[in-house]
Amino acid sequence: MTMNGYSGPSNGAGVVDAGHGEAYAHHAGSTSAGGVPVMNGTPYHLHNEAIVNHLYHAGFQTANYADTILHVHGSSYRLHAIILSRSPYLAHLMSTSPQSAGQRTIYVHLEHDPEVTQEGFAIALGYLYSPESLNIVRPENARGVLAAACLLGGMDYLCNYAYELCRQSITVDNISEWLEFVDSIPTSSDGSSTPIEPHHLPVSRTAIFGPYADRLKNDVFHFLVVTLPNMLNVGGLSSPATPQGDCQASDAGRDTLLQIFARVPFDMFKAAIESPTFQIGSDQARFRFAKDAIEARKRGIARGQGEETVVLAFGGSNNLSGSAVHVTRKLRKRTLWKVNS
């Protein structure tokens, strides 16, 4: 039997160890010798934890006394309206959904929010009942959890927790996936790239993340210009070097970085190359790296297609970044049709 998106006799993600939690408010009252508020001999925090654990296990996982059925991603969840009302998004759905014979049914449509995964949504639902759901968040599912938490709303702690795991999960092994994510974040044109009319822009899959999208974009950028070059020891003595035909040494770390930069979206590529914080060495070294990277992009290593014409310049620092290396991309010329009078 399947309940609340999970197989088995229970309704949720299985029994997990308690331990994660947020601060619970202590009310005024008598205190124990250790200063812990007590009520009829029972410390408040123990009483609160017992209630929350009961809500999670008996309410969310086993769906006892459920009064609301939620349909999403082809799964059905038996839940409780009073708990769902913690989410502004679900509260609105409930207020606009018909109710009959004491049973309410709501539908969550996520066709335009592919970043909200089934697992992420289930974890966010569980978080409405208890912070115990935090124990199930992992680097592999953190982005789906963040998307679901942003959608449901009222989950600042879960959003920040999932975001931090996302930030820490950016590695050389999954950087391609993160670059694809960054490429889907809308960027306003600054005149250095081909302008696109707003009504031609597709709905961004990253819109659901709100401000976290830009934060993750900045984290990917920092990984590219600071963390990754240091990790690969670009130009360092410990990077293995093998003689080439022209008798010059090839820096293995630099070669790996070139392969990655061949896949970086142009706006981020430009910002990285022009950034004085790019941990690649001197301005001359940054210029040489940019030249090689542009050649790699022209060969279409990553996308199977060439870049638009890219112009690389060296010298001067009259731009706002103070960089001596400048990258621009020529605009596509629109076809002009002559109208005969």
245 versus 160: the higher-pLDDT residue is: 160
**pLDDT surpassing 60 at residue 199:** no
* Angle formed by the axes of helices 142-152 and 118-129, nearest 10°: 60
In contact, 80 and 90? CB cutoff 8 Å: no
Taking a C-beta distance cutoff of 8 angstroms, is the pair 151, 208 a contact?
yes
| pLDDT tens by residue, 282-317 | 888 888 999 999 888 888 654 545 555 666 676 655
Average pLDDT estimate for 241-262 = 69
The mean pLDDT value for 230-254 works out to 61
| pLDDT for residue 160 is more than 70 | yes
pLDDT at 43: 79
Question: Per-residue pLDDT tens for 99-138?
Answer: 777 789 999 999 889 999 999 999 999 999 999 999 999 9
Of residues 90, 236, 229, 231, the one with CA closest to residue 155: 90
Confidence class of residue 334 from pLDDT cuts 50, 70 and 90?
low
What is the pTM assigned to this prediction?
A: 0.76
Between CA 151 and CA 149 the distance in angstroms is: 5
pLDDT in tens, 44-77: 788 889 999 999 999 999 999 999 999 998 999 9
Residue, of 38 and 6, whose pLDDT is higher? 38
Mean pLDDT, all residues of the chain? 79
Other Cβ atoms within 10 Å of 119 Cβ, number: 20
Residue 42 confidence (pLDDT): 65
220 or 200: which leads in pLDDT: 220
pLDDT at 34 over 90: no
pLDDT value of residue 191: 44
Looking at this protein, which amino acid is placed at residue 303?
A: R
- pLDDT of 260 reads 93
Burial of 22 (0-12, 13-18, 19+ CB in 10 A): exposed
